[in-house]
A and B are shown apart, each in its own frame.
Chain A
């Protein structure tokens, strides 16, 4: 088999490949300097606490590639959890309450989708509004006392359990949804349509993509996935609380952008986002084990994001400079 040198080079210079190398190097370095980092307890803790935020990453990946954004995910998830909690308290079986909760999440997403797709409002503004709206509803519906008593103990025990030695159970929804979202995005027509919309909505529409409908459904999916995260939050914190997952949307958006997804839409890969998630989780865990507080962790993640964007920008310019020079040389030779 002949290996195409340019193909290899272009693969290696792709953002997700660089990110993969950086992540692996970081883990090797961190494991050598931080005792216990790769112990099963440390790994399961590190991933267990990000179960909810990392779910938000999936719909956000699709939305941002399609030139939209949904910053209401954490509020929608918390609201769905509040619905689940209130229904359970009212005596409904927990499983039924969860199904209703997922539908409510989908409906919240539908509201966002309706405003964006049908009314044509910008998604940042719409979801900024619903971020506040659904968080407010959490407090209105629940009052100030978190629900703790009728939550099934099995859910809590499950959330804190692991399989394969260290993988936390509450990562299962993410592990199931990653391949589904990945295949939909990269192997199915719907994925190509999302990229087409991100590349240029008008062109996409003239090529037969039903832009508005797709946009609408992306928001519905986002709401439903957010609701799953809400249920996970109930298990992890042993309660339904109106301030569940506050601010998690920003962490999820950070992962998406560090994963190489274009701010302008139309570009991004699932693998990139997975590597960026791994990198941030391991970075935070390393700092935690070294005794650094949350402020220092935030600082490090912020520097990482800005630094990597800067690096990408510079390398692009250098690349462009070389191409220009080659073109000029070729023109002179001709």
Chain B
């Protein structure tokens, strides 16, 4: 009996192997990289019921409970109260792209004028968003982009490369001229923004002589959960005795890591920087042990809502050079690849801490 199981497992393994070997040698490689990303469908024109700019804008965050996302929602609602229209905020409970698909479908069913999505990954929702566009719904992304073929405009908080670079500048300043071992504690391995920032940090470390003494030892992931971030942060300190700093490019991760290392007494010896609402870590920023790279989140919500209504009314189409008015924020222009950039990311230090409301 045991023999038959071993035998059948063996047969399956051999079958898989033979199939693989046969194909690898026999068939010529099909041309890879033709890609699924043909240009999106012919986007229909402006819908009559959205023309007046009073239609509904569906806002899909990465996670419904993330305070960052909630600030964006509140700012968008405030903008709606000011210029008209309304906001429908949905709440996925997992930070995966697949979990966002039903919510895209829901907003399509509700026939909103615009879907504004913060993509948990670039491709999962692509097909559903293309379907939404076919039904006359405008699609824009904010905070983190989806596949560019599936949206018209991406409202970006800051130029991606500059955010990564700012985190490195901040870490380098805290470490001083001696540099030292540094680790990165990111959100999830597939997070689009974080990976772009990490890539740009790695490139800087390799090429920029200013960072010659900074040594990146590892990249680990806190999975967007406070307890996991705390666990990973303390584990990093234990496994790398020469560690001098951790870069945490994730809003949930940095406060969790700061609190965890504060409790173990390692904070101070270990410097932290990254990306988090300054208000959550203000006492650590004040004491100089932690810095943060940040932007005005509330402005991101305001800009997103204005961009959404500009799409709905046909004021912009997402073409480079299109301009629109974003209320108190002033005028904005659509840049290359349909990106609208909110502004420069800033390093939060004890000196400028009180200028950040979130």
Contact = CB atoms under 8 A, between A and B. Distances in A.
Interface of A: 36, 39, 41-42, 45, 49, 87-93, 96, 99-100, 103-104, 106-107, 110, 113-114, 117-118, 139, 143-146, 148-153, 156, 159-160, 210, 212-213, 216, 220, 233, 236-239, 241-247, 284, 288-289, 291, 293-295, 298
A295 B37 CA distance: 33
B64 A96 contact: no
Nearest to B189: A144
Given A42-B109, A146-B122, 17 more contacts: A88-B32, A92-B20, A103-B19, A110-B9, A148-B37, A148-B147, A212-B2, A213-B4, A236-B98, A238-B36, A239-B124, A241-B124, A245-B98, A288-B105, A289-B106, A291-B110, A298-B93
14 contacts: A90-B24, A107-B13, A110-B5, A146-B121, A148-B147, A149-B32, A220-B8, A220-B12, A244-B98, A291-B88, A291-B110, A293-B64, A294-B92, A294-B99
A104 B16 contact: yes
Nearest to A101: B16
A117 B109 contact: no
Most buried by A among B13, B92, B110, B124: B124
B96 A243 contact: yes
Contacts of A89: 32
B94 A294 contact: yes
Lowest 10 CB-CB distances: which A-B pairs, in order? A91-B29, A293-B91, A144-B189, A294-B93, A237-B124, A45-B105, A239-B123, A103-B16, A238-B123, A150-B32
A139 B131 contact: no
B36 A153 contact: yes
Contacts of B9: 107, 110, 114
B92 A293 contact: yes
A289 B271 CA distance: 47
Nearest to B131: A160
A148 B131 CA distance: 19
A36 B2 CA distance: 55
Given A103-B15, A143-B189, A236-B101, A160 B4 contact: no
B105 A49 contact: yes
Given A160-B127, A245-B98, A91 B109 contact: no
Contacts of B147: 148, 238
Contacts of B109: 36, 39, 41-42, 45, 289
A288 B19 contact: no
Interface in B11-47: 12-13, 15-16, 19-20, 23-24, 27-30, 32-38
Interface residues of B, number: 58
B102 interface: yes
B32 A145 contact: no
A39 B103 CA distance: 17
A100 B22 CA distance: 12
Contacts of A113: 5
A112 to B, nearest CB: 11
B33 A150 contact: yes
A291 B106 contact: yes
A243 B190 contact: yes
A142 to B, nearest CB: 9
Nearest to A216: B5
B106 A288 contact: yes
A238 B126 contact: yes
B255 interface: no
B4 to A, nearest CB: 7
Contact of B5 (A36, A118, A149): A118
Most buried by A among B13, B20, B28: B20
B12 A96 contact: no
B36 A117 contact: no
Given A110-B12, A213-B4, A93 B27 contact: yes
B20 A100 contact: yes
Nearest to B108: A41
Contacts of B346: none
A152 to B, nearest CB: 8
A17 B146 CA distance: 45
